[in-house]
Structure 1
């Protein structure tokens, strides 16, 4: 009888944990890092104490939510590398990356800022960089991508899509797709095209920019 009660309590605890995680994903997607644990509790329709028993700090909850989110982006890049045509794979990745960053503010802030997330999230970020680099190098090496495009351009393209969505999403939710198409067309290699006026950021500069950007919350 005692064992059955314990199993029941464990099941209840896990259900509550999943409710909290689901609520956190939804709130972070809509509000970004400014959402608090109290906000999460209200959205999950559970007591604040229930949230704090599962996640002692906001940092713990962020880690649980966004380790999987960044792994999802890594998975997209790995899938894109499997496509036979390097340009098709590159375009597929950029479009899906931008869809995520345009529709999930929290993931955008987590991927492109180092203000949040601890060891587990940082490990996920470290997996992302070399995979995206391979994707860019392959398309560039095959002559599809202009030679001055670098892997450090990819986060900025994702941020641009997110900014368009944040600014005009209430008017036209898919407007970001228009500008991603414009950007992709501009990244294609064409004979005789002039070099870009400014070089891409070096990885060290990108890391510094990510450390310096502190979204609300």
Structure 2
């Protein structure tokens, strides 16, 4: 018996793939905006499909998270590899910090999944594990050439990234780029030696902006 699909089957498969892509796009938007506490029902509404369609594709939310964030976390791995390719260790270190904070700030779901093992399954966990030795090498290179403080540990780096990224998320409705002001302050503090301070290109929040941020911040 032939197992070839009939012509009538093919539109169904195309429809199913279109629905899958709509689900993934909707989930990506919602996770970036609101984080990983978004429900599959909310994803279905944003995607414009029935709840049953989402659950058939992704019976549990962790499967959807794995499908979405494996590539996103792999992007962080690529950033670390780019940093190691820089001839100057300090430039590589600051490049990694800036680009990683940029991604964490733009995608709340990514920030949560990078800094927590609560969400996701094996695919995400496997990619997350690839980041650790790369970050250690970035750190050791910058310490070996004397540009980075010798007392900084590898576990400090994700915490500092989280801290800077959190500033951007905190002020996202008022001044989402304010994290770019925070990062040079942090990097100056990580220098083993420096003359002067790095100019801050991004302005501080005004008192009015700060108060507005406090009113609408999504913690």
Using the TM superposition, give the Cα deviation of residue 153 of structure 1 relative to its aligned residue in structure 2, in angstroms.
1.2
Using the TM superposition, give the Cα deviation of residue 103 of structure 1 relative to its aligned residue in structure 2, in angstroms.
1.6
- Alignment-derived partner of residue 111 in structure 1: 114
**Aligned 8 A contact 2:30 2:38 in 1:** yes
- Alignment-derived partner of residue 68 in structure 2: 65
- Alignment-derived partner of residue 164 in structure 2: 161
Structure-to-structure mapping, 1:47-126, within 5 angstroms: 47-126=50-129
* TM-score normalised per structure 1: 0.84
Give me the whole-angstrom Cα distance separating, in 2, the residues matched to 1:43 and 1:181.
37
Following TM superposition, where does structure 1 have runs of at least 4 consecutive aligned residues deviating by more than 6 angstroms? none
Give me the whole-angstrom Cα distance separating, in 1, the residues matched to 2:137 and 2:95.
15
**Aligned 8 A contact 2:143 2:150 in 1:** yes
**Aligned 8 A contact 1:101 1:161 in 2:** no
Using the TM superposition, give the Cα deviation of residue 82 of structure 1 relative to its aligned residue in structure 2, in angstroms.
0.9
Structure-to-structure mapping, 1:16-27, within 5 angstroms: 16-27=19-30
Closer, same or farther in 2 for the Cα pair 1:2/1:66, shift >3 Å? closer
SS of the residue corresponding to residue 34 of structure 1 reads coil
Give me the whole-angstrom Cα distance separating, in 2, the residues matched to 1:182 and 1:60.
38
Give me the whole-angstrom Cα distance separating, in 2, the residues matched to 1:166 and 1:22.
21
**Larger gyration radius, structure 1 or structure 2:** 2
Give me the whole-angstrom Cα distance separating, in 2, the residues matched to 1:85 and 1:15.
45
**Aligned 8 A contact 2:169 2:176 in 1:** no
- Note the alpha carbon deviations across 1:79-138, whole angstroms, 9 max, x for none: 111111111111111001001111211111111111111111111111010011111111
**Alignment equivalent of 1:185, drawn from 185, 188, 213:** 188
Closer, same or farther in 2 for the Cα pair 1:140/1:45, shift >3 Å? same
Structure 1: tracts of 5 or more residues without a match? 192-215
Indicate the structure whose relative CO is greater, using CA pairs within 8 Å and at least 6 residues apart. Answer: 1
Structure 2: tracts of 5 or more residues without a match? 195-218
* TM-score normalised per structure 2: 0.83
SS of the residue corresponding to residue 170 of structure 1 reads coil
- Alignment-derived partner of residue 12 in structure 1: 15
Aligned pairs, how many? 192
**Aligned 8 A contact 2:58 2:64 in 1:** yes
Give me the whole-angstrom Cα distance separating, in 1, the residues matched to 2:14 and 2:87.
45
Give me the whole-angstrom Cα distance separating, in 1, the residues matched to 2:127 and 2:62.
16
Using the TM superposition, give the Cα deviation of residue 2 of structure 1 relative to its aligned residue in structure 2, in angstroms.
5.5
